[in-house]
Structure 1
Amino acid sequence: MDTTTHNIMVSYISPPDWYNDVYYVFNYTICIMQFFGFAINLIHFSILSRPQMRSNAIYRLMIGICSCDLLTQINTFLIFSPFWIRDSSKKEEKCYMTHTYFDALLYLHGTTVLDITQRAASWMALFMALYRTLSVMFPLNLKIQKLSKPIFAIWTIIGVLIFTSLTTWMVQARRIIREYEWDYDCNKNEIPLNTTRYGVLIPKEDAEIQSRLVSIYGFIKALPSLIDPILTVFLILELRRASKRRKNCGKCEEDKTDNTTKLVMFVTISFFMLEVPNGFSHIVNGFFQNNVPVRTVSVMIPVFAEILPILNSSSHFFICFLMSSQYRETARALFRLKNDKCIMVKECRFTESHHSVMQVKKI
């Protein structure tokens, strides 16, 4: 073990004594919540994938968001699961900074996919709000109205996935898995290991450029959350203008397009706080490369913030159900909750009288 690797491992973070116990309990909590979140998103996806829903660009983007949320749930479970994924048969291994090779491999590539899916969902929600805002503000502009076509939603999803994959690869490409023959026990004493374990780290020669890229990546992560409030304000203002226009025209009922706008607005708001912790973590890691206490806080915050994607993704089903009549009708039809219409049939009985027969025919 060279001294370069040793120093990187020592100076990375220094979590407090309570962290390991709290982190272990948190893993159990988040895994239980993921079962419910995953089930809700499966129901949400089954409704959105119906033909009548796919014909709408907004719901096609919602399908993309839901797909990313499902992948996020799976990856979060694999990375954080304390059940069958983690090798923690020995008590002291809970304090180790190193991992088994499978855990290290899962952490390296799992966090890469997790970053891509989480970022993609946030950017899809941002573009959904942007397209809706533009189409409502410029209803007579043909170029703007093309953004509302379903085919454009597909190209948006593809473009977002390419963008998030490239930006994530920018910061993940230099991470490597390295062998360790030593670690720390729960009392923070350096101890030799009986078997070789592994850690995910950045080589020293790439540390400087990596810190700059991580800072840039932090801004990219936080950018949707910074733009979301602006779009939300525009949507609220446009809803008020639409309400005034209806009053001037003497219309009292609410326009269906307003419900769609409100749906987009609430989904956008649900993403507002999602990227702030992760963006903050990356920015701090880039600017405070050698500050162990600050980096420790910056690592701990996004770890516990992993509960936010579960709450956020689970809320979309309820938002759509409350805000969209089309979504409710599709859900009721899919799960056969829609009451069949009762048709009353009157029975006409013919009598022997010719006069009665003629009366029935007239009826």
Structure 2
Amino acid sequence: MSLTYSASDFKEFSRSTQQTLVRIGNIIGSVSLSLYKFNLLFAFVGVIINILHLAILSRKSMNTNSINVLLIGIAISDLFSMSILVYQFVFLPPMSYYLQLIDFYLLSARESFHLISTWLAVIMASIRYLVMKYALKSNFQNLSKKATGQRFVIILFICSLLMSLYYSVRVKFVELPERWKPAENCKLPKNTSFPDYDIVDREWFLSADWIYEIFVILEGLLKIVPSILLPILACLLIKQIKLAGNVKRMVSSKTEESKLDHTSKLVFIMTIIFSLTEGPLGIVVVLDGLATNHTGLQYIINDIMGILLIFETLNSSTHFFICVGISSQYRKAIREMFGLKKKKPKTLLHTYNRTLVYFSFFHPFQLPNYILQWMSAAYCGIFAATLCILAIQFLYRFWSVFDTPKLIYFDGFNYFIWIVYYIFFGALWAFAVGYFFALDDYGKQYLADEIVVKYHRNISDIPILSLLSYDENGIKWESLYGLSMITGISTVQYTVICVCAFKMCKGMREKLLAMSPLHRRINQFYKALLIQTFAPSIFLFSPVFFMLSIPYADLNISFPSSIFASGFTVYPAIDSVCIMYCVSEYGRCFRNLVSSVKVKLGYEHSSSITQERSGNIANFTATN
């Protein structure tokens, strides 16, 4: 990953183009480096999640068909991939020859495991499509058997092992004349150095041009083809799910239809997520091949790959949550493994075909349903107020560093401007949900059987709000009006966050270039700012836009979508972890706090702990 770019990296371009590429490269490189360091947290969490995911899938009750076997193969690949990523974070500085050699082999293995996971997703989507399309042909129904999935997993692992071995034997390690030295701001002792090595192709490999060409073409196809096939398979699965849903509605009742397994929906959602992850990677691989003769562009492309690495990590962690949200068999296996009893939550989000339903089983003081519906809408308005407060926070940060005269708007009675701001948008969001998403007669008729089958409740007995995308006449305009209002509110807040974050990143980069390496605290807050900009996108805005847009696809799906709203509760912790991870001042304050507690308990004697802690907190507040 490049730290800084210069015009010398783009000698083949004109002067104006060089300046533009240097600016773009520095921004992308900085974002890539920050996310690469923070990716350790996601990788570590991914390892834990995939261990649990693999333990559940390996239970006898789950190991019944080819799809579940392929899911086991994907879980194994993701587990090893994330584990290797964590290992590489632990051993960042180059050490001995053998440690670097192990690191190289592990890097090759991680690439192989990533390819295995991607191709297993392609095979899984293909099998499900063929089984659905040719449901009456016994030859295709054999694809759903457990043995079929086992064969595909074994074949892929063997092929990947052979390619990894070939890639490993064709190169050798050569010691470089200059030893590796840490950067000036590194925590290693001064005058530290390690022998450094580079990877070069062996002579026999370079002499056989046809072997090199075949290997490069094959490697490129293995990375590009999935990014093409996955979106195609996703579209085919949508079409087939809709056709199957129409047939089932004609020949079966709602109760019988609801008992059908959710395998197709699970495979479809996983295919969509893999498409979103692998699509950009495929594009980047193509660009990398086109930029062979441009070293600077290849550096930028490598930094872009570093940014996409975090989405690969997040993708590996989502499979567990998708299975929990969609597969009743998977949830049953979890309850059996942990000895849990099935309990109904009091407030639920549920996605059913063309609707997103928000309802509650809680009836305080025996209030009528219409009052409880407006209380639920007010609760949604609190989410909008949270987004507004987050936007205000970013605006305050920007003004406090780069436009201090405008801080007058946060002084005295001017502060009430911002209170009115988030109350207004919160109330507007609550009004949009409570008024436009109120259930009419068509909506009650459409959802009645689904609520009875899934939750054993009469729809007239519970407070319920619903985003119903279509009715008998086509688009339901009331829902579209409400969706437009809340989408507009979200877009305004997200735009404020992104604009302020971009301007702060640009301004802080310029300040960092002018400062000495001793100003490490500013650099730490710069990295924390980048991460805090991405965190709301992942945990707040993305789940909301997904849940609100999926009803307009009019898919034949039915699953509790509360799992996607779990990011709302995760975000506050993630936002705090960002600061604690990036800013060393937090660790120092925490150690001082522990020491003071020990003093009070009589374990230690200290004369200046309180004074030092107060000074650290004051410095931190001034810097922030």
| TM-score past 0.5 threshold | yes
2:92 matched to which residue of 1?
Answer: 86
Structure 2 Cα separation of the partners of residues 153 and 222 of structure 1: 23
Consecutive unaligned residues of structure 2, counting only runs of 5 or more, are 1-10, 12-21, 185-191, 344-624
Which residue does the alignment assign to 1:135?
131
Deviation of 1:217 after TM superposition, in Å, equals 1.3
Map residues 190-229 of structure 1 onto 2, 5 A cutoff. Answer: 196-202=195-201, 206=205, 210=212, 213-229=215-231
Secondary structure of 1:64 counterpart: helix
Aligned equivalents of 1:176, 1:65: Cα separation in 2: 31
SS of 1:51 mapped into structure 2: coil
Match of 1:308 among 305, 311, 324: 311
Aligned counterparts of 1:248 and 1:165: Cα–Cα separation in 2: 49
Q: Pick one of 24, 40, 44 that aligns with 1:35.
A: 44
CA distance in 1, matches of 2:231, 2:127: 15
| Residue 146 (structure 1) aligned with residue 142 (structure 2) | yes
* Contact 1:259–1:323 (Cα < 8 Å) also in 2: yes
* 2:176 matches 1:177: no
Any idea what the Cα deviations from partners look like across 1:244-268, whole Å, max 9, x if unmatched?
1122225224354461100011111
* 1:171/1:214 contact within 8 Å kept: no
Offset from partner CA, 1:145-173 (integer Å, 9 cap, x none): 11111011110101111233344455554
Question: Are the equivalent residues in 1 in contact too, given 2:170–2:205 (CA < 8 A)?
Answer: yes
Gaps of 5+ in 1: 1-10, 88-97, 188-192, 341-363
> If each structure's helix is expressed as a fraction of its own residues, which one has the higher value?
2
**Alignment equivalent of 1:334, drawn from 337, 340, 343:** 337
177-186 or 202-211, larger mean C-alpha shift? 202-211
Counterpart Cα distance in 2 of 1:277 and 1:201: 29
Structure-1 separation of matches of 2:51 and 2:138: 36
Contact 2:231 2:272 in 1 (8 A): yes
- The residue that corresponds to 1:53 in the other structure is 62
User: How far 1:120 sits from its partner (Å)?
Assistant: 0.5
Query: Aligned-pair distance for 1:104?
Result: 2.8
Contact 1:40 1:314 in 2 (8 A): yes
CA contact (8 A) 2:66 2:146 kept: yes
| Residue in 1 that maps onto 2:110 | 114
For residues 265-315 of structure 1, what are the alpha-carbon distances to aligned partners after superposition, in whole Å with 9 as ceiling and x for unaligned?
Answer: 111112113334554454444444332122212222222322122211111
CA RMSD of aligned residues (A): 3.2
- Structure 1 length-normalised TM: 0.75
2:78 touches 2:113 (CA, 8 Å); kept in 1? yes
Larger mean CA deviation between 299-308 and 195-204 belongs to 195-204
Higher relative contact order at CA 8 Å, sep ≥6: structure 1 or structure 2? 1
Shift of 1:179: 0.7
What's 2:276 paired with? Answer: 273
Cα separation, 2, equivalents of 1:122 and 1:214: 19
Task: Return the letter of the residue paired with 1:101.
Answer: Y
Distance in 2 (CA, whole Å) between partners of 1:59 and 1:137 is 20
Q: Does 1:104 align with 2:100?
A: yes
2:28 and 2:251 mapped to 1: Cα distance?
61
- Count of residue pairs brought into register by the alignment: 311
Per-residue deviation at 1:234? 1.5
Q: Does 1:296 align with 2:299?
A: yes
One-letter code aligned to 1:69: D
Q: Distance in 2 between matches of 1:338 and 1:162?
A: 41
Decide whether the 8 Å contact of 1:215 with 1:287 is kept in 2.
no
Tell whether the 8 Å contact from 1:263 to 1:324 is kept in structure 2 after alignment.
yes
Structure 2 distance, partners of 1:218, 1:338, is: 49
* Worse-matched range after superposition: 112-121 or 271-280: 271-280
Give, in whole Å, the separation in 1 of the partners of 2:254 and 2:29: 58
In the TM superposition, what is the alpha-carbon distance from 1:242 to its structure 2 partner?
1.6
Instruction: Give the CA deviation at 1:31.
Output: 0.9
Distance 1:183 1:282, change over 3 A: farther
Equivalent pair of 1:214/1:283 in contact (CA under 8 Å):
no
Deviations 1:208-255, CA, capped at 9 Å, x for gaps:
664663344122112112111111112111111122112222522435
| TM-score, reference length from structure 2 | 0.45
- Quote the sequence identity (%): 27
CA distance in 1, matches of 2:31, 2:248: 54
Deviations 1:112-156 (A, max 9, x none): 111111111111111111111111111121111111110111101
State the SS of the aligned residue for 2:199.
strand
Of 106-115 and 25-34, more deviation after overlay is shown by: 25-34
